[in-house]
Amino acid sequence: MKISLLIKCFLIFGLSLVFGCSNDSDENSNSNDSITLFIDEYPNSGTFLLELTSSLEGNVSFSITTQTVSQALIISGNQLTVGDWLAFDYETNELIEAEIKASNGSETQTQTVIVMINDIDDIWRFLSGNSRTVYENANNGEWITISESEYNDLANYLAETSKSGANDNQLFSGASVENSSGNRTIANDNDITIPSNSYVFAFKYYSWINNVGSSRVKLSQNDAGGSYEDLGSVLPEHDDEFNHFVLKGGSEKTTSETFIGMYASGSIGVKSDSESSYKWRNGNVDNLDNTANGIVYLHQGLSTNLKQWD
């Protein structure tokens, strides 16, 4: 896993793209040269890539005539920079290619630029500060605590992400948060499931109490009643209200529709929801033989069918 953003440019003239000469009678002439750049996934918009220069005389302007991903690259003056930073996702685009034209009004030169995107740990990219440090030092299969904003970034920006357990409307409805007893294993049975061939990589839930230290995330394939298996380590100790976690090095892939549940060692938050049902059983167990209706447990998992981490 890389732990810093690197931009490596292999150019003939340092960080300058020098256009070759072309005949002024050929408006679409091409030097047939190409420049290759390398950049890590998810750079910031506006990141400098390349200085553009030309051997044409007079007032020269530069423009992008074609690019494989719209708005991925932009030109500001004589600088080629990152435009849409989300286009720089290795799992979606391993490279971005653009043709750049230099013109003085009567003559033109063209050059191809190829930006190769380096594959990095996408989860790491969206963590910062202490979360990133803890993630770097964690063992595979270990859950670590992250912030709400980091969880939301993972939900919004990792490719092919799905939510399971409870949807956002249920989590943030106007209903009051109520208390449900702890030391029980629970799972919502509301068809908000993990797709087949997916990896669960993040989890959030509402704890009613402080100093919770032995709760676990659980998965059951095909049946909300189980059999459930633990996913990763015990969740780190945490306090009341919403807590957010990410899984380091998750490698367990679902083979069918899968339900997400948890063993809540302490009291957990729920909301009234007339359309929701759930399974439960006291203790840290694998099978849930009790069914009830009318509330939704406030827990949610994130999953993707693309493994985007080390």
Can you tell me the mean pLDDT for 199-212? 98
Looking at residue 5, what is its pLDDT?
30
- Please give the angle made by the CA atoms of 199, 223 and 197, to the nearest 5 degrees: 25
Can you tell me the mean pLDDT for 202-214? 98
Q: Is the pLDDT at 12 greater than 80, yes or no?
A: no
Looking at residue 4, what is its pLDDT?
30
Question: pTM of the predicted model, to two decimals?
Answer: 0.85
Rounded-to-5 percentages of helix, strand, coil across the chain = 10, 45, 45
Q: Can you read off the two tokens belonging to residue 5?
A: 């953003």
Looking at residue 223, what is its pLDDT?
96
Tokens 């992008």 locate to 64
Q: What is the mean pLDDT of the chain?
A: 91
Looking at residue 15, what is its pLDDT?
44
C-beta of residue 299 within 8 angstroms of C-beta of residue 276: no
Q: Can you read off the two tokens belonging to residue 170?
A: 């249920």
Say how many residues make up the chain: 310
Over the stretch 17-28, which tens digit does the pLDDT of each residue have?
A: 655 534 333 333
Can you tell me the mean pLDDT for 64-71? 97
10 Å CB burial of residue 179 (0-12, 13-18, 19+) is exposed
Looking at residue 18, what is its pLDDT?
58
Please report, for the chain, the start and end positions of each structural domain, with discontinuous segments joined by +: 7-118, 122-304
Say how far apart CA 43 and CA 84 lie, in whole Å.
Answer: 9
Backbone Cα Rg of the chain:
25
Q: Is the pLDDT at 62 greater than 50, yes or no?
A: yes
Can you tell me the mean pLDDT for 185-208? 98
Q: Which residue has the higher pLDDT, 162 or 30?
A: 162
Over the stretch 215-227, which tens digit does the pLDDT of each residue have?
A: 999 999 999 999 9
Over the stretch 104-151, which tens digit does the pLDDT of each residue have?
A: 999 999 999 999 999 999 999 999 999 999 999 999 999 999 999 999
Looking at residue 16, what is its pLDDT?
54
Nearest in space to 220 (alpha carbons), one of 212, 228, 231, 208: 228
Looking at residue 29, what is its pLDDT?
37
Say how far apart CA 73 and CA 65 lie, in whole Å.
Answer: 11
Band (pLDDT 50/70/90 cuts) for residue 10 is very low
Q: How far is CA 150 from CA 132, 201, 237, in A?
A: 10, 13, 18
Q: Is the pLDDT at 9 greater than 90, yes or no?
A: no
Q: Is the pLDDT at 235 greater than 70, yes or no?
A: yes
Say how far apart CA 93 and CA 95 lie, in whole Å.
Answer: 5
Please state, for a pLDDT cut of 90, what percent of the chain lies above it. Answer: 88
Determine the residue type at 252.
E
Nearest in space to 113 (alpha carbons), one of 48, 27, 17: 17
Can you tell me the mean pLDDT for 52-69? 95
Over the stretch 78-100, which tens digit does the pLDDT of each residue have?
A: 999 999 999 999 999 999 999 99
Task: Give domain 7-118's CATH superfamily.
Answer: Cadherins (2.60.40.60)
CA 87 to chain centroid? 13
Say how far apart CA 202 and CA 97 lie, in whole Å.
Answer: 33
Say how far apart CA 212 and CA 144 lie, in whole Å.
Answer: 14
Over the stretch 144-185, which tens digit does the pLDDT of each residue have?
A: 999 999 999 999 999 999 999 999 999 999 999 999 999 999
Tokens 């150019």 locate to 11
Looking at residue 7, what is its pLDDT?
32
Nearest in space to 99 (alpha carbons), one of 66, 69, 74, 73: 66
Q: Is the pLDDT at 8 greater than 90, yes or no?
A: no
C-beta of residue 97 within 8 angstroms of C-beta of residue 67: yes
Continuous segment of H or E residues that includes residue 82:
strand 79-82
Three-class SS state of 136: helix
Q: Is the pLDDT at 209 greater than 90, yes or no?
A: yes
C-beta of residue 62 within 8 angstroms of C-beta of residue 49: no
